[in-house]
Amino acid sequence: MNIVKYIIAVGIAIICLGCPARSLQPLFAEKDLVFNPSLLGIWLDEEGKEVYRFQRSGERGYEAMLYKDASQKNPDDRGDTAFYKVQLGQLGKHWFLDSSPMRGSNDHHMIAAHIFSRVTLRGDTLRLASLESDWLRELAETRRLEVPHVRIGGEVVLTGSTEELQRFVIRFGDDGKAFPEGEKLFRSK
């Protein structure tokens, strides 16, 4: 649950508030993808301990690397590094990232899954708020979760189609419990 426990820990505080929810299906179809060069680069958390590097991958995608020890000068020397395939798109009035672990990544995902984060990018400040798993579990327990899902242990994993997921994210995109305010990241200069 790396980039995203932090990207999304990147809602990143995302993780101070809880774990990000997961989905077996992506949030975006190919036609929905957008490339924004403003996301590219190196981003640091407020303490400078976590580093996120976004690089272009293909025409409209990204690869993201998350590592926790920014004191190491060489990224190859950082032991706790995770790599993600990341896609960006707009649903309703918000921008969202869909991140999934890349093969061979040193991450803590229990299953190869997608994590959705609402994105706010203003100048050199990036805020990521991931879909909160505790909130999702509460919806499921009270039978208000209308998106297909399964339970794996105590976790609710979304299994709905991309279209169902998009409707769900649009409906709850403004909900502060669904997408709690994430940790701020700052562009490295």
Q: Which domain range does residue 124 map to?
A: 2-187
Distances (CA, A) of 91 to 27, 140, 170: 10, 23, 6
Question: Which pLDDT does position 110 carry in this prediction?
Answer: 53
Q: How far apart are CA 165 and CA 73, in angstroms?
A: 39
pTM over 0.85? The answer is no
Q: How far apart are CA 169 and CA 189, in angstroms?
A: 33
Those residues whose C-beta lies under 8 Å from the C-beta of residue 28, and which sit 6 or more positions away, are 87, 89, 98, 162, 166
Question: Which pLDDT does position 18 carry in this prediction?
Answer: 54
Question: Which pLDDT does position 77 carry in this prediction?
Answer: 55
Question: Which pLDDT does position 183 carry in this prediction?
Answer: 83
Reading the chain (189 residues) residue by residue, the pLDDT tens digits are 333 333 332 333 333 335 899 999 999 999 999 999 999 999 999 988 899 999 999 999 999 999 876 555 555 554 578 899 999 999 999 999 999 998 655 545 456 799 999 999 999 999 999 999 999 999 999 999 999 999 988 899 999 999 999 999 999 999 999 999 888 999 997
For the chain, the domain total comes to 1
Distances (CA, A) of 182 to 4, 11, 71, 132, 186: 10, 4, 23, 11, 13
- DSSP SS3 for 165: helix
